[in-house]
Each structure stands twice: as C-alpha cells, then as structure tokens.
Amino acid sequence: MSNYGIKLLKELIKFRTESFSYDKKLEEGKDCADFIKNELESLGFKTSLLSKLEDRPVVVGELDSNAKETCIIVTHYDVVPAGDGWSVEPFSPVVRYGKIFGRGASDDKGGIAAFLHAMKEIQDGKEEMEFNVRFICTGDEELGSHAGLRWIASSSHKNLLEGDVAYILDVSTSCISVGCSTSVTGMIEVNGKQGHAAYPFRCKNAAEHAILLASKLIDFGKREGEHVSSRFKATPNPVNKMIWNRFSVTVLKSGEKPNVIPGRATIKFNWRLIPEEDFDERKKELEKEFEGWKDELGVDASLAFNEPFLGYGVEEDNKYVKRLKDVVADLDASRALCGVEFGATDGSFLHHMAGLPAIGFGPMDEDCNFHGVDEFMRVETMTLVKQVLKRFLAKDFE
C-alpha cells in the first residue's frame, strides 16, 4: 500500500463522526462528507451531497466509463462512539506494527480509503473499466440508515439505486459476502403492581414475571438454533458451515430499590434469521407462543418489534459473484469462499428495495476490534481490499 491510501485513512479517522442518535448532531459529519466529495472530484467523479439531515449528508459520486453495466459501491463514514479504555487517542490515528489504529479504521473508513485508492490506480494506469461506478457513502449506517440508504431507496432519489450490481464495502475480509441475516429487536413490557417488599402478597412482582418470560424466550432461542439454511453458507465460524438462526435475550431491567417490589419490567431481545425465512410469518409464530406463555404464567405483558433489517442471499452461480470469487481467488485463494453475514448490512435495502444482487469483500478482519477499543486496520488488509476492488471494477483483471 502506497502512502496515498494510508494518508487518506488517517485523514478520515481524524473526523469525529460518532453516531450516538439522531437527536445528537453528527459533530463533523458535514466536514467528513466534504472531504470525501473533494477526493472523488479529484478522481474525475461527478459529485453531489444529498441531505435529509444537514449534519450527515449522503455523498454521491458518479463516474461514467462508457461501460454497459453500473456497479454501485456502498459504504458509510459514521462510526460508533469511541468509548473509554483506548491505548491510543481514537481520533488521532497512529501506525504501529503494520496496523493503523483509530475509531472507524476498519468500520468503515478503511473501506472508503481502499476504494479511493483503487480508483486512483485504475485512472493512473488508464485501465478500461468493466462498470460505470456510482459511489454512495452515508452518514448514519450505524443508526439504521433512516437518513441514508433507507431514505434514498424510498425518496425521489431512488433512481440512484438503479444499476446492475451493488458492492458492499462494510463487510468481512474472511470471505465474499453474498447476503446477510434478518435482524430485528423485540421488546416485552411486563406490568405488575408495585409495593413494599415486606408485603409481597399485596403486589404483583413484575421482575419475577419477567424472569419467567425470559426463561421461555431462552428455550425459544435454543429451538431457533435448529433452523439451519439449506442454501446459504455462513461466513467462516466454529459452529456450522451453513447460516443458522440466533436468538438472544439482551436486556432485562426492573426495580429501583431492594425493598420495593417493582411494578414494571422490560425485556429486550435480538433475533437473527436465515435468508429463506419470512419474517412476518415467523413474527406471527412468536406472537402466538407469547400469548400462550402469558396465559400459562398468568402475567400481564405486551410484545412489540422494531422495524427489521430483512435478510437476503445471492446464489453462488450469479455472474457477479463468480467474477468477485475469481478476483479474490487470484489474490488469496483461502478467502475465495462465499458466505451470508451473521449481521445486517445495507445490502438489505439494495436487494429488497432496488432488486440488486448485493455482494462484497470488505476490510474487517476478525480481530480488528471494530466497535471495540483500539480498533485497527492492517495495512496489508487495506492493500488486499484495494486490489480486489481494482480488479473487480477494471475490464481485465488478469
């Protein structure tokens, strides 16, 4: 990797683009978007900034290569909050032992730098392009893309998602991403009757009722693990070759004082489903079971779901998957595998709302601490991702 890519990534990390919530301004979102826009323009892209929210504009760059097909490159410049416990300053990038440390180094500013570097090398080498390129970089992927791709797909700008294939940068480097799991969060509110702990017979203990319901959810989650895809492999993992369902109780909250029996409790859970399963049908199944649990346990509770990220999968015989697999195999055969991501990606919007095959090969090594302290990007990984992008987009990668 030349100094160009490293310099770009270091400059991108310096922008404090921590996504806390839509209620809190993205501190340097506009500055970061302007930086990316200017870099795209220096590479000959026609650019624009689209804003549902002014503090986190969507960067769009278009390069007409007179090709027959268009590839849409998708990524994001917002990052999760840095948190405490870093051994380096999270927004003052440093390079040590062949690694670039800083918040967003791998998720996903490293992907932005790799893409820009790939385009620079293609243009410097005057290589013919296989695709016209449309680059879309959002500022709220970490929040659900309500001002990003989700908004683009449902707004007057939805024509920007017209193309032939989408390339997702925000994915693992362990294999070729050909889909993602459905992801949804559910919440159960348990109602009881608050009172003094010395008189439990006068109360209805919401905490204890929540524990009983949580036990039912845990049993449900164990059964979910038996739902295994017959069509789609998972990204490399120690459990199963094929992608499977996962269900986890993640939040259990109730009570304020030891001598007060709580009158309310909250349970939250996260549910991940394989691409073949219809979320609406599975939701109805869980709702039916939930009503049965309430009757059996004699509890007063309600169940609600957040809006899901719908899963999808692209078959391995798809021509774009084959092309990307050939590219990766030529550079590192050990990574020329196909897998559905355990998490959700923006590929969900491109697949379900734009009808595009959404695939990718990204910059996230398993040990790179994305979303954790001391997040880093290996220089050699960024080089590999840059080379994959360059060969996928160029006419003749051989």
Average pLDDT across the chain, whole number: 96
Q: Is residue 187 located within the same domain as residue 90? A: no
Question: What CATH number corresponds to the domain at position 325?
Answer: 3.40.630.10
Q: Report if residue 398 sits inside a domain.
A: no
Q: Report if residue 136 sits inside a domain.
A: yes
Residue written as tokens 């439990």? 200
Q: How far does CA 125 lie from the centroid of its chain?
A: 33
* 141 belongs to the catalytic site: yes
Least Cα distance to 15 among 102, 83, 106 occurs for: 102
Question: Residue 292 has what DSSP assignment?
Answer: H
Average pLDDT over residues 391-395: 94
Q: Report if residue 149 sits inside a domain.
A: yes
Structural domains counted in the chain: 2
- In angstroms, the CA 254 to CA 46 distance is 53
The active-site residue out of 78, 130, 346, 365 is 78
Last residue of a domain, one of 290, 305, 320: 305
Does residue 397 carry a pLDDT above 60? no
Express each pLDDT in 36-86 by its tens digit.
999 999 999 999 999 999 999 999 999 999 999 999 999 999 999 999 999
Question: What CATH number corresponds to the domain at position 209?
Answer: 3.30.70.360
Least Cα distance to 246 among 274, 267, 265, 219 occurs for: 274
Last residue of a domain, one of 246, 274, 305: 305
- In angstroms, the CA 50 to CA 157 distance is 9
Does residue 132 carry a pLDDT above 90? yes
Percent of the chain with pLDDT over 90: 94
The active-site residue out of 39, 141, 346, 375 is 141
Express each pLDDT in 172-230 by its tens digit.
999 999 999 999 999 999 999 999 999 999 999 999 999 999 999 999 999 999 999 99
**Band of pLDDT at residue 2, cut at 50, 70 and 90:** low
Least Cα distance to 9 among 34, 40, 36 occurs for: 36
Q: Is residue 294 located within the same domain as residue 218? A: yes
Residue written as tokens 């506009």? 30
Two structure tokens written together for 193: 């009757």
Question: Residue 218 has what DSSP assignment?
Answer: H
pTM of the predicted protein model: 0.91
Domain that holds residue 198: 182-305
* 78 belongs to the catalytic site: yes
Q: Report if residue 16 sits inside a domain.
A: yes
Express each pLDDT in 239-263 by its tens digit.
999 999 999 999 999 999 999 999 9
Q: Is residue 317 located within the same domain as residue 357? A: yes
CB 7 within 8 A of CB 93: no
Last residue of a domain, one of 289, 305, 321: 305
